Structure 1
Amino acid sequence: MNKQALVGAFVLGGVGLLVAAFVFFGSFHPFTRTQKAVMVFRGATSGLAVGAPVTFRGVQVGSVDRVAIEYDPRSRDAYIPVYVTMRPDNITLAKDHGTAKLPSVEELVAQGLRAEMNLKSFVTGTSEIDLDFAPTSPATLHPDIVSGVEIPTKQSPIQAITQNVTQLPIKEIGDNANAALLAVRELADKLDRDMPPLVQSIRETSDHSREMVDSAHETIEKLQPELTRTLQNVDRLAATGSQQLDARGRELHSLLTDANATIVKAGRSLDNVSSMTSPRSAERANLESSLRDIAAAASALRGFANDVERNPQLLLMGRRP
Protein backbone atom coordinates (compact mmCIF):
# COMPACT_ATOMS: atom_id res chain seq x y z
CA MET A 1 0.00 0.00 0.00
CA ASN A 2 2.79 2.41 0.80
CA LYS A 3 4.44 1.79 -2.57
CA GLN A 4 1.14 2.20 -4.42
CA ALA A 5 0.46 5.42 -2.55
CA LEU A 6 3.90 6.74 -3.44
CA VAL A 7 3.44 5.83 -7.09
CA GLY A 8 -0.01 7.45 -7.11
CA ALA A 9 1.33 10.58 -5.45
CA PHE A 10 4.20 10.69 -7.94
CA VAL A 11 1.79 10.35 -10.89
CA LEU A 12 -0.52 13.02 -9.49
CA GLY A 13 2.44 15.33 -8.96
CA GLY A 14 3.63 14.78 -12.53
CA VAL A 15 0.17 15.46 -13.90
CA GLY A 16 -0.03 18.60 -11.80
CA LEU A 17 3.35 19.80 -13.03
CA LEU A 18 2.30 19.07 -16.60
CA VAL A 19 -0.94 21.02 -16.19
CA ALA A 20 0.97 23.89 -14.57
CA ALA A 21 3.44 23.90 -17.45
CA PHE A 22 0.58 24.08 -19.95
CA VAL A 23 -1.04 26.85 -17.99
CA PHE A 24 2.02 29.02 -17.40
CA PHE A 25 4.20 28.25 -20.43
CA GLY A 26 1.83 26.96 -23.09
CA SER A 27 -1.17 28.26 -24.95
CA PHE A 28 -3.65 26.57 -22.64
CA HIS A 29 -5.17 29.15 -20.32
CA PRO A 30 -8.22 27.68 -18.64
CA PHE A 31 -8.84 30.74 -16.46
CA THR A 32 -8.36 33.38 -19.16
CA ARG A 33 -11.29 34.93 -21.06
CA THR A 34 -10.80 34.46 -24.81
CA GLN A 35 -12.59 35.39 -28.02
CA LYS A 36 -12.39 33.75 -31.41
CA ALA A 37 -11.92 35.68 -34.65
CA VAL A 38 -11.11 34.99 -38.28
CA MET A 39 -8.91 36.90 -40.71
CA VAL A 40 -9.11 36.16 -44.44
CA PHE A 41 -6.03 36.70 -46.60
CA ARG A 42 -5.92 36.46 -50.38
CA GLY A 43 -2.16 36.42 -50.85
CA ALA A 44 0.46 33.97 -49.77
CA THR A 45 0.84 33.30 -46.04
CA SER A 46 4.36 31.91 -46.07
CA GLY A 47 5.81 31.35 -42.61
CA LEU A 48 2.45 31.59 -40.82
CA ALA A 49 1.81 28.50 -38.69
CA VAL A 50 -0.30 27.41 -35.75
CA GLY A 51 0.81 29.19 -32.60
CA ALA A 52 2.08 32.28 -34.45
CA PRO A 53 1.56 35.42 -32.34
CA VAL A 54 -1.14 37.99 -32.97
CA THR A 55 0.15 41.39 -31.82
CA PHE A 56 -1.17 44.91 -31.50
CA ARG A 57 1.67 47.36 -32.06
CA GLY A 58 4.16 44.83 -30.78
CA VAL A 59 2.11 43.55 -27.79
CA GLN A 60 0.82 40.00 -28.10
CA VAL A 61 -2.95 39.81 -27.75
CA GLY A 62 -3.59 36.35 -29.19
CA SER A 63 -2.28 33.46 -31.25
CA VAL A 64 -3.11 31.52 -34.41
CA ASP A 65 -5.23 28.40 -33.97
CA ARG A 66 -5.64 27.17 -37.55
CA VAL A 67 -4.74 28.12 -41.11
CA ALA A 68 -7.07 26.81 -43.81
CA ILE A 69 -7.79 27.23 -47.54
CA GLU A 70 -11.20 28.17 -48.95
CA TYR A 71 -11.64 27.77 -52.70
CA ASP A 72 -14.46 29.51 -54.55
CA PRO A 73 -15.23 27.55 -57.75
CA ARG A 74 -17.38 30.38 -59.14
CA SER A 75 -14.67 33.04 -59.06
CA ARG A 76 -11.81 30.52 -59.03
CA ASP A 77 -10.22 32.41 -56.18
CA ALA A 78 -8.46 30.85 -53.20
CA TYR A 79 -8.77 32.47 -49.77
CA ILE A 80 -6.67 31.77 -46.69
CA PRO A 81 -8.82 32.06 -43.54
CA VAL A 82 -6.72 32.27 -40.38
CA TYR A 83 -8.51 31.36 -37.16
CA VAL A 84 -7.11 33.10 -34.08
CA THR A 85 -7.85 33.28 -30.38
CA MET A 86 -7.91 36.77 -28.89
CA ARG A 87 -7.27 37.44 -25.18
CA PRO A 88 -9.07 40.67 -24.23
CA ASP A 89 -7.69 40.39 -20.67
CA ASN A 90 -4.42 41.84 -22.00
CA ILE A 91 -6.26 45.10 -22.75
CA THR A 92 -7.21 47.48 -19.94
CA LEU A 93 -9.05 50.80 -19.92
CA ALA A 94 -7.61 54.13 -18.85
CA LYS A 95 -8.36 55.26 -15.28
CA ASP A 96 -10.59 58.12 -16.42
CA HIS A 97 -12.96 55.60 -18.00
CA GLY A 98 -13.22 53.09 -15.19
CA THR A 99 -17.00 52.77 -15.48
CA ALA A 100 -16.90 51.91 -19.22
CA LYS A 101 -16.46 48.41 -20.58
CA LEU A 102 -13.98 47.06 -23.04
CA PRO A 103 -15.19 47.31 -26.66
CA SER A 104 -15.82 44.10 -28.51
CA VAL A 105 -13.92 43.00 -31.58
CA GLU A 106 -16.87 44.07 -33.75
CA GLU A 107 -16.74 47.56 -32.25
CA LEU A 108 -12.98 47.74 -32.76
CA VAL A 109 -13.44 46.69 -36.39
CA ALA A 110 -16.02 49.43 -36.82
CA GLN A 111 -13.46 51.90 -35.42
CA GLY A 112 -10.90 50.82 -38.04
CA LEU A 113 -9.13 47.75 -36.62
CA ARG A 114 -7.30 45.95 -39.42
CA ALA A 115 -4.95 42.95 -39.60
CA GLU A 116 -1.85 42.49 -41.71
CA MET A 117 0.71 39.73 -41.97
CA ASN A 118 4.37 40.64 -41.47
CA LEU A 119 7.61 38.74 -41.38
CA LYS A 120 8.60 38.01 -37.81
CA SER A 121 12.17 36.80 -38.43
CA PHE A 122 14.30 36.99 -41.55
CA VAL A 123 16.42 34.11 -40.26
CA THR A 124 13.67 31.56 -39.61
CA GLY A 125 11.20 32.97 -42.14
CA THR A 126 8.32 32.87 -39.64
CA SER A 127 5.46 35.34 -39.88
CA GLU A 128 3.01 36.92 -37.45
CA ILE A 129 -0.23 38.86 -37.61
CA ASP A 130 -0.16 42.52 -36.57
CA LEU A 131 -3.27 44.47 -35.59
CA ASP A 132 -3.60 48.24 -35.77
CA PHE A 133 -6.17 50.94 -36.50
CA ALA A 134 -6.36 51.99 -40.16
CA PRO A 135 -9.70 53.74 -40.72
CA THR A 136 -8.73 54.70 -44.27
CA SER A 137 -8.33 51.08 -45.28
CA PRO A 138 -11.59 49.58 -46.64
CA ALA A 139 -13.20 46.86 -44.51
CA THR A 140 -13.60 43.92 -46.88
CA LEU A 141 -15.60 41.12 -45.23
CA HIS A 142 -16.31 37.58 -46.43
CA PRO A 143 -19.67 36.40 -45.03
CA ASP A 144 -19.69 33.40 -47.38
CA ILE A 145 -16.53 32.07 -45.77
CA VAL A 146 -16.63 33.36 -42.21
CA SER A 147 -19.52 32.58 -39.91
CA GLY A 148 -18.16 34.24 -36.77
CA VAL A 149 -16.31 37.47 -35.99
CA GLU A 150 -14.09 38.62 -38.85
CA ILE A 151 -11.29 41.17 -38.66
CA PRO A 152 -10.69 42.79 -42.10
CA THR A 153 -7.19 42.50 -43.51
CA LYS A 154 -5.02 44.93 -45.40
CA GLN A 155 -1.86 44.58 -47.41
CA SER A 156 1.35 44.96 -45.44
CA PRO A 157 4.31 46.92 -46.79
CA ILE A 158 6.27 43.71 -47.29
CA GLN A 159 3.39 42.15 -49.23
CA ALA A 160 3.08 45.32 -51.33
CA ILE A 161 6.80 45.17 -52.11
CA THR A 162 6.52 41.46 -52.93
CA GLN A 163 3.54 42.10 -55.21
CA ASN A 164 5.34 44.93 -56.97
CA VAL A 165 8.40 42.73 -57.40
CA THR A 166 6.32 39.88 -58.82
CA GLN A 167 4.63 42.30 -61.23
CA LEU A 168 7.93 43.56 -62.57
CA PRO A 169 8.60 42.63 -66.21
CA ILE A 170 11.56 40.46 -65.33
CA LYS A 171 11.80 38.97 -68.83
CA GLU A 172 11.80 42.37 -70.50
CA ILE A 173 14.34 43.65 -67.99
CA GLY A 174 16.50 40.60 -68.65
CA ASP A 175 16.20 41.07 -72.43
CA ASN A 176 17.09 44.74 -72.09
CA ALA A 177 20.01 43.84 -69.84
CA ASN A 178 21.22 41.27 -72.38
CA ALA A 179 20.91 43.82 -75.18
CA ALA A 180 22.80 46.35 -73.08
CA LEU A 181 25.53 43.80 -72.35
CA LEU A 182 25.77 42.96 -76.06
CA ALA A 183 26.07 46.65 -76.88
CA VAL A 184 28.74 47.05 -74.21
CA ARG A 185 30.57 44.02 -75.56
CA GLU A 186 30.45 45.38 -79.12
CA LEU A 187 31.68 48.72 -77.84
CA ALA A 188 34.50 46.98 -75.97
CA ASP A 189 35.45 45.02 -79.10
CA LYS A 190 35.39 48.20 -81.16
CA LEU A 191 37.54 49.94 -78.60
CA ASP A 192 39.94 47.01 -78.64
CA ARG A 193 40.22 47.41 -82.41
CA ASP A 194 40.32 51.21 -82.54
CA MET A 195 42.19 52.07 -79.37
CA PRO A 196 45.69 50.82 -80.36
CA PRO A 197 45.86 52.95 -83.56
CA LEU A 198 44.34 55.86 -81.65
CA VAL A 199 46.86 55.46 -78.84
CA GLN A 200 49.68 55.23 -81.37
CA SER A 201 48.42 58.37 -83.12
CA ILE A 202 48.15 60.19 -79.81
CA ARG A 203 51.67 59.06 -78.91
CA GLU A 204 53.02 60.28 -82.27
CA THR A 205 51.14 63.55 -81.89
CA SER A 206 52.55 63.91 -78.40
CA ASP A 207 56.08 63.26 -79.65
CA HIS A 208 55.60 65.76 -82.48
CA SER A 209 54.21 68.30 -80.06
CA ARG A 210 57.18 67.72 -77.76
CA GLU A 211 59.54 68.28 -80.68
CA MET A 212 57.71 71.46 -81.61
CA VAL A 213 57.89 72.68 -78.02
CA ASP A 214 61.61 71.91 -77.88
CA SER A 215 62.18 73.69 -81.19
CA ALA A 216 60.18 76.67 -80.04
CA HIS A 217 62.17 76.74 -76.82
CA GLU A 218 65.46 76.71 -78.72
CA THR A 219 64.21 79.44 -81.07
CA ILE A 220 63.17 81.59 -78.13
CA GLU A 221 66.54 81.09 -76.51
CA LYS A 222 68.26 82.17 -79.76
CA LEU A 223 65.98 85.16 -80.27
CA GLN A 224 66.08 86.28 -76.67
CA PRO A 225 69.33 88.36 -77.01
CA GLU A 226 68.04 90.04 -80.19
CA LEU A 227 64.71 90.72 -78.56
CA THR A 228 66.52 92.17 -75.58
CA ARG A 229 68.57 94.49 -77.83
CA THR A 230 65.44 95.48 -79.76
CA LEU A 231 63.66 96.35 -76.55
CA GLN A 232 66.67 98.38 -75.42
CA ASN A 233 66.69 100.28 -78.74
CA VAL A 234 62.96 100.91 -78.39
CA ASP A 235 63.56 102.25 -74.89
CA ARG A 236 66.32 104.56 -76.17
CA LEU A 237 64.13 105.70 -79.06
CA ALA A 238 61.30 106.46 -76.67
CA ALA A 239 63.66 108.39 -74.40
CA THR A 240 65.06 110.38 -77.38
CA GLY A 241 61.58 111.14 -78.64
CA SER A 242 60.60 112.35 -75.22
CA GLN A 243 63.64 114.61 -75.05
CA GLN A 244 62.95 116.02 -78.53
CA LEU A 245 59.33 116.63 -77.63
CA ASP A 246 60.47 118.48 -74.51
CA ALA A 247 62.94 120.54 -76.56
CA ARG A 248 60.40 121.37 -79.25
CA GLY A 249 57.75 122.14 -76.71
CA ARG A 250 58.93 125.71 -76.21
CA GLU A 251 59.19 126.34 -79.96
CA LEU A 252 55.72 124.93 -80.48
CA HIS A 253 54.46 127.12 -77.64
CA SER A 254 55.95 130.30 -79.17
CA LEU A 255 54.66 129.30 -82.60
CA LEU A 256 51.20 128.78 -81.21
CA THR A 257 51.41 132.14 -79.41
CA ASP A 258 52.39 133.94 -82.68
CA ALA A 259 49.67 132.13 -84.54
CA ASN A 260 47.16 133.19 -81.91
CA ALA A 261 48.32 136.83 -82.22
CA THR A 262 48.07 136.63 -86.01
CA ILE A 263 44.59 135.23 -85.75
CA VAL A 264 43.64 138.10 -83.42
CA LYS A 265 45.03 140.63 -85.89
CA ALA A 266 43.24 138.94 -88.77
CA GLY A 267 40.07 139.12 -86.75
CA ARG A 268 40.54 142.78 -86.20
CA SER A 269 41.24 143.33 -89.90
CA LEU A 270 38.10 141.42 -90.78
CA ASP A 271 36.22 143.61 -88.34
CA ASN A 272 37.62 146.72 -90.05
CA VAL A 273 36.75 145.36 -93.46
CA SER A 274 33.29 144.51 -92.21
CA SER A 275 32.82 148.00 -90.84
CA MET A 276 34.07 149.49 -94.11
CA THR A 277 31.73 147.37 -96.20
CA SER A 278 28.71 148.13 -94.05
CA PRO A 279 25.86 149.85 -96.00
CA ARG A 280 25.82 152.70 -93.50
CA SER A 281 29.59 153.23 -93.47
CA ALA A 282 31.09 156.49 -94.87
CA GLU A 283 34.16 154.62 -96.05
CA ARG A 284 31.91 152.40 -98.17
CA ALA A 285 30.29 155.50 -99.72
CA ASN A 286 33.71 157.01 -100.50
CA LEU A 287 34.86 153.68 -101.84
CA GLU A 288 31.80 153.37 -104.06
CA SER A 289 32.33 157.00 -105.29
CA SER A 290 35.98 156.22 -106.00
CA LEU A 291 34.95 153.06 -107.82
CA ARG A 292 32.48 155.06 -109.92
CA ASP A 293 35.18 157.64 -110.74
CA ILE A 294 37.60 154.89 -111.61
CA ALA A 295 34.93 153.30 -113.79
CA ALA A 296 34.29 156.63 -115.55
CA ALA A 297 38.02 157.20 -116.06
CA ALA A 298 38.35 153.70 -117.38
CA SER A 299 35.45 154.32 -119.77
CA ALA A 300 37.04 157.57 -120.98
CA LEU A 301 40.38 155.87 -121.35
CA ARG A 302 38.74 153.07 -123.30
CA GLY A 303 37.08 155.65 -125.63
CA PHE A 304 40.39 157.47 -126.11
CA ALA A 305 42.08 154.19 -126.89
CA ASN A 306 39.47 153.42 -129.48
CA ASP A 307 39.96 156.88 -131.05
CA VAL A 308 43.73 156.38 -131.08
CA GLU A 309 43.26 153.02 -132.67
CA ARG A 310 41.20 154.61 -135.47
CA ASN A 311 43.38 157.71 -135.77
CA PRO A 312 46.95 157.31 -134.47
CA GLN A 313 47.79 160.90 -135.32
CA LEU A 314 45.87 161.98 -132.28
CA LEU A 315 48.90 161.09 -130.20
CA LEU A 316 50.93 163.74 -132.07
CA MET A 317 48.44 166.35 -133.00
CA GLY A 318 45.77 165.85 -130.38
CA ARG A 319 42.14 166.41 -130.99
CA ARG A 320 41.11 169.46 -132.90
CA PRO A 321 38.33 171.50 -131.51
Structure 2
Amino acid sequence: MSKQANPAIIGLFVLGGFILSIVTIVLLSKGGFFKERHDFVMYFSGSVNGLSVGAPVTMRGVQVGIVKHISLVQDFTRGEIIIPVVAEFYPGNVIPVGKKKTEPVKETAKKLVEEFGLRAQLQTQSIITGQFYVQLDFHPRTAYRYYGGNDDDGDDGDYDYDDKIIEIPIIPSTLELLEKKLEKFELSSLVEDLSSAAKAISHLANKPELGQSIRELETTLATIHSLAHSADARLIPLSNKVERLLDGLQGTLSRIDTAATNFKELSDTESPTIYKVNTAMDELIRAAKSIRTLADMLENHPEVLIHGKGTGK
Protein backbone atom coordinates (compact mmCIF):
# COMPACT_ATOMS: atom_id res chain seq x y z
CA MET A 1 0.00 0.00 0.00
CA SER A 2 1.51 3.40 -1.08
CA LYS A 3 2.17 6.09 1.47
CA GLN A 4 -0.21 9.09 1.30
CA ALA A 5 1.43 12.49 0.57
CA ASN A 6 1.59 14.96 3.42
CA PRO A 7 -0.54 18.05 2.57
CA ALA A 8 1.58 20.24 4.88
CA ILE A 9 4.77 19.46 2.95
CA ILE A 10 3.05 20.14 -0.37
CA GLY A 11 1.77 23.45 0.96
CA LEU A 12 5.29 24.43 2.09
CA PHE A 13 6.67 23.66 -1.37
CA VAL A 14 3.99 25.75 -3.05
CA LEU A 15 4.53 28.63 -0.64
CA GLY A 16 8.30 28.47 -1.11
CA GLY A 17 7.93 28.53 -4.88
CA PHE A 18 5.61 31.51 -4.66
CA ILE A 19 8.03 33.44 -2.42
CA LEU A 20 10.93 32.56 -4.73
CA SER A 21 8.99 33.89 -7.73
CA ILE A 22 8.29 37.18 -5.97
CA VAL A 23 11.96 37.58 -4.96
CA THR A 24 13.04 36.84 -8.53
CA ILE A 25 10.67 39.45 -9.93
CA VAL A 26 11.89 42.05 -7.43
CA LEU A 27 15.55 41.35 -8.22
CA LEU A 28 14.93 41.50 -11.94
CA SER A 29 13.10 44.80 -11.61
CA LYS A 30 15.96 46.28 -9.55
CA GLY A 31 18.42 45.09 -12.14
CA GLY A 32 16.61 47.07 -14.82
CA PHE A 33 15.03 44.22 -16.75
CA PHE A 34 11.66 45.94 -16.74
CA LYS A 35 12.93 49.43 -17.45
CA GLU A 36 12.05 51.13 -20.72
CA ARG A 37 14.98 51.02 -23.12
CA HIS A 38 15.58 52.00 -26.70
CA ASP A 39 18.35 51.15 -29.13
CA PHE A 40 20.02 53.74 -31.32
CA VAL A 41 22.75 53.46 -33.91
CA MET A 42 25.70 55.68 -34.79
CA TYR A 43 27.69 55.32 -38.02
CA PHE A 44 31.42 56.03 -37.67
CA SER A 45 33.61 56.43 -40.74
CA GLY A 46 36.85 56.56 -38.79
CA SER A 47 38.57 54.10 -36.49
CA VAL A 48 36.78 53.05 -33.31
CA ASN A 49 39.83 51.34 -31.87
CA GLY A 50 39.46 51.49 -28.09
CA LEU A 51 35.67 51.38 -28.14
CA SER A 52 34.27 48.06 -26.94
CA VAL A 53 30.93 46.50 -26.15
CA GLY A 54 29.86 47.61 -22.68
CA ALA A 55 31.45 51.06 -22.98
CA PRO A 56 29.33 53.77 -21.39
CA VAL A 57 27.26 56.30 -23.30
CA THR A 58 27.19 59.57 -21.37
CA MET A 59 25.66 63.01 -21.62
CA ARG A 60 27.38 65.78 -19.65
CA GLY A 61 28.98 63.14 -17.44
CA VAL A 62 25.75 61.21 -16.72
CA GLN A 63 25.53 57.69 -18.10
CA VAL A 64 22.44 57.38 -20.27
CA GLY A 65 23.22 54.14 -22.06
CA ILE A 66 25.74 51.46 -22.97
CA VAL A 67 27.36 50.21 -26.18
CA LYS A 68 25.57 47.05 -27.22
CA HIS A 69 27.00 46.00 -30.59
CA ILE A 70 29.81 47.01 -32.96
CA SER A 71 29.99 45.83 -36.57
CA LEU A 72 31.59 46.82 -39.86
CA VAL A 73 30.04 47.53 -43.25
CA GLN A 74 32.28 47.44 -46.32
CA ASP A 75 30.79 49.15 -49.36
CA PHE A 76 32.43 47.76 -52.51
CA THR A 77 30.48 50.12 -54.76
CA ARG A 78 31.77 53.27 -53.06
CA GLY A 79 34.98 51.91 -51.67
CA GLU A 80 34.29 53.04 -48.11
CA ILE A 81 33.98 51.40 -44.73
CA ILE A 82 31.30 52.36 -42.23
CA ILE A 83 31.16 51.11 -38.64
CA PRO A 84 27.65 50.95 -37.12
CA VAL A 85 27.72 51.12 -33.33
CA VAL A 86 24.47 50.15 -31.66
CA ALA A 87 23.88 51.41 -28.13
CA GLU A 88 21.13 50.93 -25.62
CA PHE A 89 19.56 54.12 -24.29
CA TYR A 90 18.08 54.36 -20.79
CA PRO A 91 15.21 56.90 -20.87
CA GLY A 92 14.76 56.39 -17.14
CA ASN A 93 18.03 58.26 -16.50
CA VAL A 94 16.72 61.36 -18.29
CA ILE A 95 13.95 63.54 -16.87
CA PRO A 96 12.01 65.01 -19.85
CA VAL A 97 10.54 68.50 -19.56
CA GLY A 98 8.15 69.90 -22.17
CA LYS A 99 7.88 66.62 -24.09
CA LYS A 100 4.54 65.23 -25.16
CA LYS A 101 3.90 61.81 -23.67
CA THR A 102 2.25 60.63 -26.88
CA GLU A 103 5.17 61.69 -29.09
CA PRO A 104 7.12 58.69 -30.44
CA VAL A 105 10.68 58.34 -29.21
CA LYS A 106 12.04 58.32 -32.74
CA GLU A 107 10.33 61.64 -33.53
CA THR A 108 11.71 63.15 -30.32
CA ALA A 109 15.23 62.02 -31.20
CA LYS A 110 14.90 63.44 -34.70
CA LYS A 111 13.78 66.77 -33.27
CA LEU A 112 16.75 66.84 -30.90
CA VAL A 113 19.11 66.10 -33.81
CA GLU A 114 17.76 68.56 -36.36
CA GLU A 115 16.61 71.45 -34.15
CA PHE A 116 18.99 71.33 -31.20
CA GLY A 117 22.06 69.67 -32.71
CA LEU A 118 22.24 66.38 -30.80
CA ARG A 119 25.43 64.58 -31.89
CA ALA A 120 27.49 61.57 -30.83
CA GLN A 121 31.25 61.77 -30.43
CA LEU A 122 34.01 59.41 -29.34
CA GLN A 123 35.92 60.57 -26.28
CA THR A 124 38.91 59.17 -24.45
CA GLN A 125 37.90 57.31 -21.30
CA SER A 126 41.46 56.49 -20.20
CA ILE A 127 44.71 57.73 -21.72
CA ILE A 128 46.63 54.86 -20.14
CA THR A 129 44.42 52.06 -21.47
CA GLY A 130 43.31 53.90 -24.62
CA GLN A 131 39.67 53.11 -23.99
CA PHE A 132 36.92 55.22 -25.55
CA TYR A 133 33.32 55.96 -24.70
CA VAL A 134 30.45 57.63 -26.57
CA GLN A 135 29.47 61.13 -25.55
CA LEU A 136 26.13 62.68 -26.49
CA ASP A 137 25.82 66.45 -26.47
CA PHE A 138 24.29 69.36 -28.33
CA HIS A 139 26.38 70.95 -31.08
CA PRO A 140 24.12 73.43 -32.91
CA ARG A 141 24.95 74.53 -36.44
CA THR A 142 27.17 71.49 -37.09
CA ALA A 143 26.76 69.50 -40.28
CA TYR A 144 25.34 66.00 -40.02
CA ARG A 145 24.57 63.06 -42.29
CA TYR A 146 22.05 60.28 -41.99
CA TYR A 147 23.35 56.88 -43.08
CA GLY A 148 20.13 55.08 -42.20
CA GLY A 149 16.42 55.80 -42.63
CA ASN A 150 15.99 59.15 -40.86
CA ASP A 151 15.98 61.31 -43.99
CA ASP A 152 13.09 63.72 -44.45
CA ASP A 153 12.58 62.61 -48.04
CA GLY A 154 11.74 59.08 -46.94
CA ASP A 155 14.93 57.61 -48.36
CA ASP A 156 16.25 54.72 -46.35
CA GLY A 157 19.77 56.10 -46.63
CA ASP A 158 22.91 54.34 -47.74
CA TYR A 159 23.13 51.86 -44.86
CA ASP A 160 19.82 51.08 -43.26
CA TYR A 161 20.66 49.10 -40.14
CA ASP A 162 17.10 48.80 -38.87
CA ASP A 163 14.04 51.00 -39.41
CA LYS A 164 13.08 50.67 -35.76
CA ILE A 165 16.46 51.82 -34.44
CA ILE A 166 17.01 55.55 -33.89
CA GLU A 167 20.01 57.07 -35.66
CA ILE A 168 22.15 59.72 -33.97
CA PRO A 169 24.59 61.52 -36.31
CA ILE A 170 28.23 61.74 -35.27
CA ILE A 171 30.89 64.45 -35.31
CA PRO A 172 34.64 63.81 -35.44
CA SER A 173 36.42 63.18 -32.18
CA THR A 174 38.97 65.60 -30.77
CA LEU A 175 41.78 63.28 -31.85
CA GLU A 176 40.43 63.11 -35.42
CA LEU A 177 40.18 66.90 -35.61
CA LEU A 178 43.78 67.19 -34.40
CA GLU A 179 44.96 64.67 -36.99
CA LYS A 180 43.20 66.61 -39.77
CA LYS A 181 44.86 69.84 -38.70
CA LEU A 182 48.28 68.17 -38.58
CA GLU A 183 47.73 66.82 -42.09
CA LYS A 184 47.44 70.37 -43.39
CA PHE A 185 50.92 71.25 -42.15
CA GLU A 186 53.75 70.67 -44.61
CA LEU A 187 56.23 68.97 -42.32
CA SER A 188 59.10 69.02 -44.82
CA SER A 189 58.72 72.77 -45.33
CA LEU A 190 58.63 73.29 -41.58
CA VAL A 191 61.85 71.28 -41.13
CA GLU A 192 63.56 73.28 -43.88
CA ASP A 193 62.53 76.55 -42.24
CA LEU A 194 63.87 75.39 -38.87
CA SER A 195 67.13 74.27 -40.49
CA SER A 196 67.56 77.64 -42.21
CA ALA A 197 66.85 79.48 -38.96
CA ALA A 198 69.40 77.36 -37.10
CA LYS A 199 72.05 78.06 -39.76
CA ALA A 200 71.37 81.78 -39.60
CA ILE A 201 71.69 81.77 -35.81
CA SER A 202 74.93 79.80 -36.00
CA HIS A 203 76.37 82.17 -38.60
CA LEU A 204 75.46 85.19 -36.47
CA ALA A 205 76.94 83.65 -33.32
CA ASN A 206 80.28 83.01 -35.05
CA LYS A 207 80.68 86.61 -36.23
CA PRO A 208 83.40 88.59 -34.32
CA GLU A 209 81.20 91.68 -34.40
CA LEU A 210 78.76 89.93 -32.06
CA GLY A 211 81.41 89.56 -29.35
CA GLN A 212 82.44 93.19 -29.75
CA SER A 213 78.81 94.30 -29.50
CA ILE A 214 78.32 92.28 -26.33
CA ARG A 215 81.41 93.85 -24.73
CA GLU A 216 80.25 97.34 -25.69
CA LEU A 217 76.85 96.58 -24.24
CA GLU A 218 78.43 95.48 -20.95
CA THR A 219 80.44 98.73 -20.82
CA THR A 220 77.32 100.78 -21.53
CA LEU A 221 75.39 99.01 -18.79
CA ALA A 222 78.22 99.62 -16.32
CA THR A 223 78.24 103.35 -17.21
CA ILE A 224 74.47 103.57 -16.78
CA HIS A 225 74.76 101.87 -13.38
CA SER A 226 77.46 104.35 -12.29
CA LEU A 227 75.41 107.34 -13.44
CA ALA A 228 72.37 106.05 -11.61
CA HIS A 229 74.39 105.64 -8.39
CA SER A 230 75.84 109.15 -8.73
CA ALA A 231 72.44 110.66 -9.43
CA ASP A 232 71.02 108.89 -6.42
CA ALA A 233 73.81 110.28 -4.19
CA ARG A 234 73.09 113.82 -5.39
CA LEU A 235 69.35 113.65 -5.30
CA ILE A 236 69.15 112.62 -1.62
CA PRO A 237 70.68 115.91 -0.22
CA LEU A 238 68.69 117.92 -2.74
CA SER A 239 65.50 116.27 -1.60
CA ASN A 240 66.35 117.16 2.03
CA LYS A 241 66.82 120.82 1.08
CA VAL A 242 63.57 120.84 -0.84
CA GLU A 243 61.82 119.36 2.19
CA ARG A 244 63.19 122.08 4.48
CA LEU A 245 62.23 124.75 1.95
CA LEU A 246 58.70 123.37 1.84
CA ASP A 247 58.53 123.45 5.67
CA GLY A 248 59.60 127.13 5.67
CA LEU A 249 57.11 127.92 2.96
CA GLN A 250 54.39 126.29 5.01
CA GLY A 251 55.24 128.52 7.99
CA THR A 252 55.23 131.61 5.79
CA LEU A 253 51.83 130.69 4.43
CA SER A 254 50.54 130.28 7.99
CA ARG A 255 51.75 133.76 8.93
CA ILE A 256 50.24 135.25 5.79
CA ASP A 257 46.95 133.62 6.68
CA THR A 258 47.08 135.10 10.19
CA ALA A 259 47.84 138.57 8.79
CA ALA A 260 44.99 138.25 6.33
CA THR A 261 42.68 137.35 9.18
CA ASN A 262 43.80 140.40 11.18
CA PHE A 263 43.38 142.65 8.16
CA LYS A 264 39.90 141.30 7.67
CA GLU A 265 39.06 142.15 11.28
CA LEU A 266 40.40 145.70 10.80
CA SER A 267 38.40 146.20 7.65
CA ASP A 268 35.17 145.19 9.38
CA THR A 269 33.40 148.35 10.68
CA GLU A 270 31.62 146.40 13.38
CA SER A 271 34.66 144.61 14.76
CA PRO A 272 35.74 145.34 18.42
CA THR A 273 39.12 146.61 17.24
CA ILE A 274 37.58 149.30 15.02
CA TYR A 275 35.26 150.30 17.86
CA LYS A 276 38.18 150.77 20.24
CA VAL A 277 40.10 152.78 17.64
CA ASN A 278 37.09 155.06 17.03
CA THR A 279 36.63 155.58 20.76
CA ALA A 280 40.29 156.50 21.16
CA MET A 281 40.05 158.93 18.25
CA ASP A 282 37.04 160.63 19.86
CA GLU A 283 38.92 161.01 23.13
CA LEU A 284 41.94 162.44 21.29
CA ILE A 285 39.68 164.97 19.53
CA ARG A 286 38.13 166.07 22.84
CA ALA A 287 41.58 166.32 24.42
CA ALA A 288 42.82 168.41 21.51
CA LYS A 289 39.83 170.75 21.88
CA SER A 290 40.52 171.15 25.62
CA ILE A 291 44.20 171.87 24.95
CA ARG A 292 43.22 174.46 22.31
CA THR A 293 40.75 176.09 24.74
CA LEU A 294 43.47 176.19 27.41
CA ALA A 295 45.93 177.71 24.98
CA ASP A 296 43.46 180.42 23.98
CA MET A 297 42.72 181.27 27.60
CA LEU A 298 46.43 181.53 28.48
CA GLU A 299 47.02 183.72 25.51
CA ASN A 300 44.25 186.12 26.55
CA HIS A 301 44.83 185.88 30.32
CA PRO A 302 48.45 185.04 31.07
CA GLU A 303 47.99 186.15 34.69
CA VAL A 304 46.07 183.02 35.28
CA LEU A 305 49.39 181.19 35.54
CA ILE A 306 50.25 183.46 38.55
CA HIS A 307 46.98 184.10 40.32
CA GLY A 308 44.96 181.16 39.10
CA LYS A 309 41.56 181.21 37.65
CA GLY A 310 39.23 183.38 39.76
CA THR A 311 35.65 184.36 39.67
CA GLY A 312 34.54 187.03 37.32
CA LYS A 313 33.85 190.61 38.75
With the length of structure 1 as denominator, give the TM-score of the two structures. 0.47
More helix by share: 1
Greater Rg by CA? 1
User: What's the TM-score, normalizing by structure 2?
Assistant: 0.48
